[in-house]
Amino acid sequence: MRKIPRIVISGSYSGVGKTTVATGLMGAFRNRKMKVQGFKVGPDYIDTSYHTMITNRYARNLDTWMVPYEGILELFVRAFQDADIAIIEGAMGLYDGASGVDETGSTAEMARILNAPVILVIDASDMARSAGALVLGYQKFDPNLRLAGVIANGLGSTTHAKWVKDAIETHTNIPVLGTLPIRNKIKMPERHLGLIPTLERGELDSYFSTLADFIEENVNLDTISEIAQSAPKLPIQKSKIYPKKNKKKKVRIGIALDEAFNFYYWDNVDMLKAYGAEIIFFSPIHNEKLPDVDGIYIGGGFPEVLAAKLEVNKSIRQKIKKRAEEGMPLYAECGGLMYLTDSVINFSGKAFQMVGLFPGITIMTKKLEAMCYTLADVVMHTIIPRKGTKLKGHEFHFSTITNIPRDASFAYKMKLGKGINGKYDGWIEYNVLASYMHMHFGYDKKLVQSFIQSCEQYQRKK
């Protein structure tokens, strides 16, 4: 058994300020010289980027669709390592998930898996005594879930805060651990995929400092720490995702990481390291040369926003294309897929030249093209999943790809999700696999092993 102080920060529903609260708590505890490990329930990349920035530790995603139940605790315990407290930000509302009749995919489900106490964030801006009824409903909805405290957001005055606090504590006996006054400067900016990624924002140090101080002033950190400490010990998990001992380094894999490409599940990177890959980071924006590697991984991000800078760096685009044509394994997801097409047409209708490995044109759309979990049958062998595999993931994009040749090869037949053309995903050219689907390698360690084997085969032919 292992002692891991932990709390789940959930919202009564989306948009109540749980990301602000969770991120601010991480900063406030770090100001107390504590090592804080951040987690996010669900597939969201951007919230974890905030957690990473404010804690100076890579935040992790916990998702029961993309990772088997038995793997969640392994990922959680491994990521915690030498931290002092784990703060897990929920997704949507506490009980919202993949169904209206059970907890599947919800924050409540994750709290149960982690045996973690929950602190509920509510937006009390337009209520007073009704806040008591709201919290009572969440308490009674699942009496077996440990709802350990409430943080009320959006309060207009000290009198308003007192009414809300009295209503909740009188009718539920759940302590109100924080009352947050309205502060416009605390609000996080957004764009079409949600919050603006940390790598694009220059004022973050000041912003995070202000946020941490705001939480310190208005939230009872001592009691929250006590609640986290009261979480039961967790059982030691057998290694099912990671090897018991890291494998000897076999290959070098280049991972694109900069303002344009930064959507990665960090467990994917860690799993590649654990199974024998040396990771070399490079920037398609700032580096003219590719590092000496045996494979490439280009994750998601916002290439449409940085398209002009990506186009200007013609040198690295040409080198990526040349390496791919020579047979180097290359895996790309969503933004990475877009970067590998002929061009990207941004929201203003302006076209920018990209790598040109795939003969298609990426067009940004004003409507959300896909936001869902995905399920696919792998119908062709690839550098990562093999034929016959069932693959789970998710997709989230405001773009579509046109001018796709009729003879284009696709490895994934979609059972859930839209993919590239509504039926298929996983476009293949040479030893390149690119998809709108994002994968978490924790779904099946064979995905990592196959990628490394593909890189080894290329290495022997160089």
In a domain, 1, yes or no: no
Whether residues 217 and 278 share a domain: the answer is no
Q: Are 90 and 41 within 8 A, CB to CB?
A: yes
Catalytic residue among 25, 46, 290, 334, which? 334
Q: In the chain, how many domains are there? A: 2
In a domain, 166, yes or no: yes
Paired with 155 in beta bridges are 181
Whether residues 206 and 256 share a domain: the answer is no
Whether residues 49 and 96 share a domain: the answer is yes
In a domain, 284, yes or no: yes
In a domain, 83, yes or no: yes
In a domain, 18, yes or no: yes
Which of the listed residues 229, 260, 280 is the one where a domain comes to its end?
A: 229
Per-position pLDDT tens, the chain of length 462: 889 999 999 999 999 999 999 999 999 999 999 999 999 999 999 899 899 999 999 999 999 999 998 899 999 999 999 999 999 999 999 999 988 888 989 999 999 999 999 999 999 999 999 999 999 999 999 999 999 999 999 999 999 999 999 999 999 999 999 999 997 656 665 544 554 554 554 557 788 899 999 999 999 999 999 999 999 999 877 889 999 999 999 999 999 999 999 999 999 999 999 999 999 999 999 999 999 999 999 999 999 999 999 999 999 999 999 999 999 999 999 999 999 999 999 999 999 999 999 999 999 998 888 889 999 999 999 999 999 999 999 999 999 999 999 999 999 999 999 999 999 999 999 999 999 999 999 999 999 999 999 999 999 987
Whether residues 216 and 297 share a domain: the answer is no
Q: Are 114 and 128 within 8 A, CB to CB?
A: no
For 40, 76, 89, 188, the CA distances from 10, given in Å and listed in that order, are 10, 18, 6, 17
CATH number at residue 60: 3.40.50.300
Per DSSP, the three-state class of 458 is helix
In a domain, 46, yes or no: yes
Whether residues 308 and 450 share a domain: the answer is yes
Type and span of the H or E element at 359: strand 358-364
Whether residues 337 and 216 share a domain: the answer is no
Per DSSP, the three-state class of 354 is coil
In a domain, 454, yes or no: yes
Query: Going by C-beta distance under 8 Å and a sequence separation of 6 or more, which residues neighbour residue 241?
Result: 67, 71, 74, 75, 267, 271, 442, 445
Whether residues 12 and 152 share a domain: the answer is yes
CATH number at residue 355: 3.40.50.880
In a domain, 88, yes or no: yes
Q: Are 361 and 354 within 8 A, CB to CB?
A: no
Whether residues 223 and 269 share a domain: the answer is no
Question: Cβ-count burial of 407 within 10 angstroms (0-12 exposed, 13-18 middle, 19+ buried)?
Answer: exposed
Range of the domain at 63: 6-229
Q: Which two tokens stand for residue 219?
A: 């939230």
Q: Which two tokens stand for residue 182?
A: 């309205």
Which of the listed residues 183, 198, 229 is the one where a domain comes to its end?
A: 229
Based on the residue annotation, tell me whether 455 is a catalytic residue of this protein: no
Whether residues 105 and 56 share a domain: the answer is yes
Least Cα distance to 43 among 66, 71, 70 occurs for 66
Whether residues 305 and 215 share a domain: the answer is no
Whether residues 205 and 266 share a domain: the answer is no
Alpha-carbon span 435 to 413, nearest angstrom: 12
Whether residues 219 and 275 share a domain: the answer is no
Q: What is the pTM of this model?
A: 0.94
Type and span of the H or E element at 336: helix 335-340
